[in-house]
Amino acid sequence: MSQMIRQLLPGLRAVLVFTVLLGLAYPLLMTGIAQLAFPHQANGSLQTVDGRSVSTVLGQQFTGAEWLQPRPSEAKDAENENDPGYNGLYSAGSNLGPNSEELVTGIDQRRADVARANGVPPDQVPADAVTASSSGLDPDISPAYAELQVNRIATARGVPAATVRNAIAEGSRAPMLGFLGQPRVNVSEVNLALARG
Predicted confidence (pLDDT) per residue in 70-123, tens digit: 998 877 777 777 777 777 777 777 778 888 898 899 899 999 999 999 999 999
Domain range for residue 27? 1-43
Residues 14, 108: one domain?
Answer: no
Residues 39, 97: one domain?
Answer: no
83 burial (CB, 10 Å; 0-12 / 13-18 / 19+) is middle
Enclosing H/E stretch for 34: helix 26-37
Residues 150, 56: one domain?
Answer: yes
Position 40 pLDDT exceeds 90 = no
Position 55 pLDDT exceeds 80 = no
| Mean predicted lDDT score pLDDT of the chain | 88
72 φ, ψ (degrees, to nearest 5): -65, 155
Q: Compute CA distances 49 → 25, 32, 179, whole Å.
A: 36, 28, 32
Domain count, the chain: 2
**Band of residue 50 on the pLDDT scale cut at 50, 70, 90:** low
**Band of residue 49 on the pLDDT scale cut at 50, 70, 90:** low
Position 149 pLDDT exceeds 90 = yes
CA dist 37 and 31 (Å) reads 10
Residues 79, 139: one domain?
Answer: yes
CA dist 13 and 129 (Å) reads 55
Residues 120, 64: one domain?
Answer: yes
* pTM as predicted: 0.77
From 2-11, 55-64, 86-95, the region with the lowest mean pLDDT: 86-95
CA dist 190 and 69 (Å) reads 10
Closest to 49 measured CA to CA, from 60, 65, 58: 60
Residues 174, 119: one domain?
Answer: yes
